[in-house]
Chain A
């Protein structure tokens, strides 16, 4: 494959990372929690598509809507059932992290028990006819993946910057106590943030199915980790950062697979994470936060 098509491929994978990274970033921005279970929400979304499309035979658009809605609800439920109590009690970060880890394992193992641990093949849900772009044939899936992601980013930016609930989200991430005093329902705002992040994860799941045409109970963990790396790379808590981080990660991974070795791709991804954390822990677009005594 030429360098150009490698980069396009990378952008396509990267846009999936970017969508997932947004979820991590938004949740981290508002409750300062690395939601380890976020990767598993992608898996959940993918299995909703599997059940509705393959088992129930519903039309694709209904499947996508159902996946988005159900995953959003699942995201809110995890927040309500697992994290809320700890967040309200001001529990140490380590407890929250361990809980998130527990939720992630729980979802993964539930899926494994219900659907079996082998990967399931999916039909091609987006036609993969090549489109001619600047003389290079590019698959339709790639084009749609990148376009969907860009549309989602624009919509999300508008939601955060132009709407009332977006303002509330920004206020709560800035200072939850002050936001509460200003009459913002912080609990509802946090739940909404989880819902939006999870909905984005469901869209990422649909794009993932379109690209890879298979799902498994473990698909979320590596994808989630890489997307998390993307969020850190871009600056956790920052929305444009998450997008940039996702695209960079996708391209780097695609180039490593294409030119170095496919087994080393994971090592390169985590290598990037380590370099970023050591030299600029706030990421490319993150804000500098000084620690309070």
Chain B
């Protein structure tokens, strides 16, 4: 085993240990009642938003295509999952309910992915501004269709969805999502996707089937948005088309932009901060969107790459940064370029 492999394994082990530790701490606190139901709800919402931000980052940050209809895919997943749970007759109580939830969100993700494919194939022929507008258009169309579907409850939406989204479910699904997208990114496929962002024409000239990789990334993002939608529906219990509007898509975009377009850990951090912030600043609820808009403009003007840019937070990177700061010596590599 060479040194590089070993380093990688150590890094994986450290991250795994940290995730397990985080899980143990949070689940003990929630189970013992030290974190009450209200805060537990916010924690679940944080993990749902992490899935949304990371999946949107896959298309917008990593593939470099601005998508303004992510809430549309989320709503497809939410409605599919909710309708499944409400009408399939599978158990919603007891241990078997976990299976119901898993089947429901898997279905939600799959239907969202199919819709993503149907939309992506024609839409991804366009790029830049036009892609942004067309995804916006599709997002609005999905909303209008949901509003008019006879079995989707119209403007009132669906209510009485069993609250199956447990802390365990959101935690493990979001960790798996982040891991999956990160693994995809660092794979051969991921490098192909990155090359499309850097220079599409050069990527094409180098023999990369750009359309195929774009569609794969797009469909994956739609799938995870659908999964997040399913979790959201079973968390909140009530879904209506009005929730999944353009503003919600923008909120997700703010998370991606703030964290750094192309940085997975950046999206995670931004999702955490931007879910807690509005709750902490309840008194300023009216100013939330105002704050977001100013943030967006200032970020683009002064730090267009986002807080983390394209780099990732990592334990190894943190170690190097500390060493550099306190010993004054330059580390071997720039901080944060190492894997999570």
Contacts and interface: CB of A to CB of B under 8 A. Distances in A.
Interface of A: 32, 34, 82, 85-86, 91-99, 101-106, 108-110, 112-113, 221, 225, 228-229, 232, 261, 263-264, 266-267, 270-271, 273-274, 277-278, 281, 291, 293
Q: Considering the complex of A and B, which 4 residue pairs feature the smallest CB-CB distances, nearest first?
A: A102-B296, A105-B293, A270-B137, A106-B293
Contacts of A273: 133-134, 137
20 contacts: A32-B129, A86-B300, A86-B301, A94-B64, A95-B300, A96-B300, A97-B128, A99-B296, A101-B296, A102-B293, A102-B296, A105-B293, A106-B294, A106-B297, A113-B287, A113-B290, A261-B148, A263-B144, A263-B147, A270-B138
A58 B170 CA distance: 58
Interface of B: 60, 64, 66, 68, 122-123, 125-126, 128-130, 132-134, 136-138, 140-141, 144-145, 147-148, 201, 246, 250, 253, 257, 261, 286-287, 289-290, 292-297, 300-301, 304
From DSSP, what is the main secondary structure of chain A's interface residues? helix
A267 B293 contact: no
A96 B128 CA distance: 11
A113 B125 CA distance: 40
A93 B301 CA distance: 13
Given A101-B250, A106-B293, A110-B290, 11 more contacts: A34-B132, A97-B66, A97-B128, A98-B66, A105-B289, A108-B289, A109-B289, A232-B133, A263-B147, A267-B140, A281-B126
Contacts of B292: 105
Contacts of B60: 94
Contacts of B136: 225
Contacts of B140: 225, 266-267, 270
Given A263-B148, A264-B144, A274 B125 contact: no
A97 B132 contact: yes
Given A86-B300, A99-B300, A94 B66 contact: yes
Contacts, number: 113
Given A106-B294, A264-B144, A274 B137 contact: yes
A94 B65 CA distance: 8
B296 A98 contact: yes
A109 B129 contact: no
B296 A277 contact: no
Contacts of B147: 263
Contacts of B253: 98, 101
Nearest to B145: A267
Contacts of B134: 273-274, 277
B297 A103 contact: yes
B290 A109 contact: yes
A274 B118 CA distance: 13
Contacts of B294: 102, 106
Contacts of B133: 34, 228, 232, 273, 277
B40 to A, nearest CB: 30
Interface residues of chain B: helix, strand, loop or mixed (majority): helix
B290 A82 contact: no
Contacts of A94: 60, 64, 66, 128, 261
Given A97-B132, A225-B136, A264 B148 contact: yes
A221 B287 CA distance: 19
Nearest to A275: B122
A86 B136 CA distance: 23
Contacts of B122: 274, 278
B33 to A, nearest CB: 38
Nearest to B132: A97
A93 B132 CA distance: 11
A266 B139 CA distance: 11
Nearest to B257: A98
Contacts of A108: 289
B300 A98 contact: yes
Contact of B126 (A96, A110, A277, A293): A277
Given A34-B133, A228-B133, A95 B304 contact: yes
A244 B18 CA distance: 61
A267 B144 CA distance: 6
A263 B126 CA distance: 28
B201 A293 contact: yes
A277 B130 contact: yes
A113 B285 CA distance: 11
Contacts of A274: 122-123, 134, 137-138, 141
A65 to B, nearest CB: 29
B144 A106 contact: no
